[in-house]
Every structure is written in C-alpha cells, then in structure tokens.
C-alpha cells in the first residue's frame, strides 16, 4: 500500500505533463499548408494525411480485433522502461492489445510511410503482438522485415499472428535489443527504414540512433516512437534533431521522423496528426 501511495503522485504528474505537451504541440504544430518545404508538403499531403480506406488494412484490423477479445494470460518480460499503464508481469493478451498496440490510425500511418518509398530492408525494434509488423510487411512485400522483441511470450503471440496473416517476409528475433540490434545493423549493407519502438529511455534511444548512423544513406528514414513519453525521451529527441547528420525531422507528437537528405538545409517541423 505504501508503494501505491508513493507512486500515484508521480504517475499523475507524468499524465499531466504528457497532456500539457500534447496541448502545446497542437497549438504550435502546423498543417501541410503551414510548411515551406516542398518535400514536407508533399509528404504531409499525400502520405500523412491520406486517411482513405485501403483493402490491405482489413485483414490486419480483423486480427487486432481477435487480440482485443483474447483473455489468455501470458507472462510478460519487460527489459525496457516499462509501461505507464500496467506493471503486472502476468497480463491478458486483450490488455496488451488495448494498451500497447499502436492505434489503427498510427499503425496505418507507419504503413503509408513504409509504402511511400522503395525499400530493401526494414528493421522494427519492439514487435509487441506484431500488428505494426504486419503493416510494415504488407507495405513492402518484397523487402526483408526484421522485427526484434525482448519478451518471449508476446513474441510467440506475434508469430501466431504472422502465420495467420500469411506474412512471408518477416524474421522475428527474440532477445535483448542491445545484443540483437547491433548485429542486425552490422549484417545490413545499408539501412533503409528503421522503426524504434523499444526501450523508452534516453540512453537506450540515443544508443539505437548512434548505432544506426554508420549504415544510413540519403533516403534512410528512422522513426522514433513515444518521443514525449518522458523527460528523458524528450531530451533524446532534441539531441537526435540537433545531430549534424540529420537534415530534416518531422514531429508528429506520437512519433518522430528523421531524414538524412543531403544538400538540404537543416529544418525541423511539427505537423498536426
């Protein structure tokens, strides 16, 4: 009981800070009409704000619906910063699907970002139950999709989802990100698309970013999830934006996009989403 009393004010403060950050973002962010970059205008108009329905979404969302009604219990291994919502190690699959999966709106945005350019390889750090992985796989059926998960139990559920959705281009690796990600980067000739939804701490996020840098190229896209998750994540996002190799960033509040286009003046954008 004493632990609960001690932790509750911290949790409430975190929630209020998150809400304050969101409101500030909504006030300061622009729509596509407020951007002066042709690249960002086109990306916002044709990709970020493309809310049209697509047939490819249907099967994945049907699989999500099954997860939301799955009350089987699994034992969760959390090697990262943990969850603001539920610290219990034994959880229902339906709880994880409700609290940890990316919303359809955000997962489908990640699909469109991946589908928007030619990719040979995709790395996802943080598989969870595999719904976002499925969107990445469907976005680039000819690309190699490597997804890394720290929790064996959630990875097992994700693997079942990949089978149910007939995903043939996905490799799932289970283990510590600090061991598996450097090897994956080393094995890649270059990095086309990396989605970081893993250990949400400043140190870990900056490590992942710095490990990727030797293999990035002009058309690489790095996506960082939960950039307002904590003070540490906000600091990590600020350092990433200011890195000399970064040419352009787009802050969508829920995720941050990092581009490395050469010959372009460094610019940072906040876009409403």
State yes or no: pLDDT of 80 exceeds 80.
Answer: no
Determine the pLDDT at residue 82.
53
Q: Please give the model's pTM, rounded to 2 decimal places.
A: 0.92
State yes or no: pLDDT of 81 exceeds 80.
Answer: no
Q: Are strands 221-225 and 255-259 parallel, antiparallel or unpaired?
A: antiparallel
State yes or no: pLDDT of 86 exceeds 70.
Answer: no
Determine the pLDDT at residue 205.
98
Percent of the chain with pLDDT over 70: 93
CB contact at 8 A, 254 and 225 = yes
Reported confidence tier of residue 87, pLDDT bands at 50, 70, 90 = low
The pLDDT tens digits for 141-198 are 999 999 999 999 999 999 999 999 999 999 999 999 999 999 999 999 999 999 999 8
Determine the pLDDT at residue 259.
98
């Amino acid at each position: 009981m004493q632990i609960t009393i001690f932790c509750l004010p911290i949790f409430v403060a975190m929630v209020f800070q998150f809400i304050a950050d969101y409101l500030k973002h909504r006030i300061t962010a622009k729509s596509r009409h407020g951007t002066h970059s042709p690249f960002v205008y086109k990306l916002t108009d044709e990709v970020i704000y493309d809310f049209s329905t697509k047939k490819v979404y249907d099967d994945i969302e049907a699989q999500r619906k099954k997860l939301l009604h799955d009350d089987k219990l699994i034992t969760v291994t959390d090697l990262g910063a943990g969850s603001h919502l539920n610290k219990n190690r034994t959880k229902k699959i339906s709880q994880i699907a409700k609290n940890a999966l990316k919303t359809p709106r955000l997962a489908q945005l990640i699909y469109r970002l991946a589908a928007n350019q030619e990719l040979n390889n995709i790395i996802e750090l943080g598989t969870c139950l595999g719904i976002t992985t499925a969107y990445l796989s469907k976005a680039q059926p000819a690309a190699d999709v490597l997804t890394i998960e720290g929790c064996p139990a959630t990875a097992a559920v994700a693997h079942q989802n990949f089978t149910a959705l007939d995903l043939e281009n996905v490799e799932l690796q289970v283990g510590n990100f600090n061991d598996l990600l450097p090897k994956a980067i080393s094995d890649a000739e270059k990095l086309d698309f990396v989605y970081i939804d893993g250990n949400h701490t400043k140190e870990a996020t900056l490590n992942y970013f710095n490990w990727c840098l030797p293999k990035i190229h002009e058309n690489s896209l790095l996506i960082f999830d939960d950039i307002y998750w904590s003070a540490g994540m906000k600091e990590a996002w600020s350092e990433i934006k200011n890195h000399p190799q970064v040419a352009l960033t787009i802050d969508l509040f829920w995720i941050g996009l990092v581009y490395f286009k050469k010959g372009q003046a460094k610019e940072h954008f906040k876009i409403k989403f």
